[in-house]
Amino acid sequence: MVQEVIRKNKEYRFLINRFKIITMVLAFVLSVLLSSCAGPLAVDPVLEARTAIESADAAMGDWEGSWKLEDESDLGQMVTQVIALGKGKYRAKVLGEFDTREEPIAVLEGRRDGAVVRFTGPGRYEYTEFQIEAAIKDGQFSGSFTGDTVGSFALERVIRISPTLGEKPPKGAIILFNGKDFKEWKHTNKKEGEDEVKWELVDGAMRVKPGTGSIITRKQFTDVRLHVEFRTPFMPEARGQGRGNSGVYLQGRYEVQVLDSYGLEGEDNECGGIYKVGAPIVNMCAPPTQWQTYDIIFRAPRFDGAGNKVSEPTLTVVHNGVKVHEKTEARGPTTASLGGKATEPGGIYLQDHGNLVQYRNIWLVEL
Ligand code: MG
């Protein structure tokens, strides 16, 4: 009887072990198959963004956590966007949540002090005023506040990725850039045969080569749904329109601005803005060096038989997964557009504004 049980146990263990071996072999084969099929976009996007941001500046970017009073009562969520300003200077915008136009709790000035970045400044929350002292140290943004209320906070780095990053072109889409060549593109204003694109190919992306000129698709379009991924360079000492400027133009005429305006107000000449036409509903700009997305639905202007305009062009812009324009009308061509007749189709045009902005995974669907 006992021997019978031992024998059965042995058989059982043999079956389990065989099952384990088969599972391991299958898992290995599957992982080899998957990695051989995967393109450059299969890189973990969170890891990709974290590596890019932290190798540019380990203090820069989004931080998320909570704050509490000195009696331990919870004040809820607190977030911070840290902007690198060069020469060891920083600015931290402290808020109750990301992606809002609500007044910040504080805008703190920061300075690097060895391995630590220290911040200080006044804060305000629900009719109370206080002074904040904070520091980024050992991968944490933490500090305290004293004044009408007294308490502390602790925030961890958070990487927020666009949900449409790496989105595959749907069936019937026109692929404008797949990371390999410029065959769908030409220089904006050179003669045929002399209109070769001089931008550079880097790691499956195209990068503006400053001074070589803007580029435009060889094909012309009217109504489209466009997907484009971009990232702005790390230029901590640059400001305003000189900081990671480029732009995506629809029909060669209407610019959705590309700019490093991470942590700023979200104006009509900043990232997510339709240049000098409309500000984004909220500023969705990610930190420089992180890949971002625009998903744009463009409807070209309409004309009657006599050539009179019957409706303005409209742009619906989704920036990093959030709708920042809903059918915003662009009455005329935006600044620095190619002009051209609004009655005719136009190319998708990417701007050389002198900065090393990158683009990848560009495709559109004609509507
Ligand atoms: Mg621009």
220-276 residue pLDDT tens: 999 999 999 999 999 999 999 999 999 999 999 999 999 999 999 999 999 999 999
Q: Tell me which CATH homologous superfamily contains domain 2-160.
A: Quinohemoprotein amine dehydrogenase alpha subunit, domain 2 (2.40.128.120)
Task: Please report which confidence band the pLDDT of residue 35 belongs to, taking 50, 70 and 90 as the band edges.
Answer: very low
Nearest to 325 by CA among 298, 288, 359: 298
Beta carbons within 10 angstroms of residue 13's beta carbon:
10
- CA of 242 from ligand 1 middle (Å) equals 9
pLDDT mean over 90-104: 97
DSSP string, 29-91: HHHHHHHHH--GGGS-HHHHHHHHHHHH-TT-EEEEEEEEETT--EEEEEEEEEEEEETTEEE
Q: Residue 333 has which token pair?
A: 């061509």
- Answer whether residue 21 shows pLDDT above 90: no
Give the Å distance between the CA of 110 and the centre of ligand 1: 29
Q: How far is the CA of 239 from the centre of ligand 1 (A)?
A: 14
CB of 261 closer than 8 Å to CB of 271: yes
Q: Give the per-residue pLDDT at 167.
A: 98
- How many whole angstroms from 37 Cα to the centroid of ligand 1? 36
Distance 214 CA to ligand 1 centre (A): 11
Q: Could you name the CATH architecture of 165-366?
A: Sandwich (2.60)
H helices present in the chain, as ranges: 2-37, 45-56
Is residue 25 scored above 70 in pLDDT?
A: no
- Measured in Å, residue 229 CA sits from the centre of ligand 1 at 15
Q: Would you say residue 34 has pLDDT above 50? A: no
Give distance in angstroms: CA of 357 to centre of ligand 1. 11
pLDDT tens per residue across span 292-341: 999 999 999 999 999 999 999 999 999 999 999 999 999 777 777 777 78
Rounded distance from Cα 7 to ligand 1 centre (Å)? 76
Rg (CA), the chain: 26
Tell me the residues surrounding ligand 1 (ion) with CB < 5 Å: 245, 247, 257, 351, 353
Q: How far is the CA of 343 from the centre of ligand 1 (A)?
A: 24
Mean pLDDT of the chain: 91
Tell me, in angstroms, the distance from the centre of ligand 1 to residue 259's CA: 7
Distance 246 CA to ligand 1 centre (A): 4
Indicate where the chain has its CATH 2.40.128.120 domain(s).
2-160
Ligand 1 centre and the CA of 274: distance in Å?
10
Q: Can you give the pLDDT at residue 40?
A: 47
Contact between residue 358 and residue 228 where contact means Cβ atoms under 8 Å apart = no
> Which neighbouring-strand residues pair with 202?
205
Instruction: Kindly give the distance from the C-alpha atom of residue 151 to the centroid of ligand 1, in angstroms, as a whole number.
Output: 43
Q: What is the pLDDT of residue 341?
A: 85
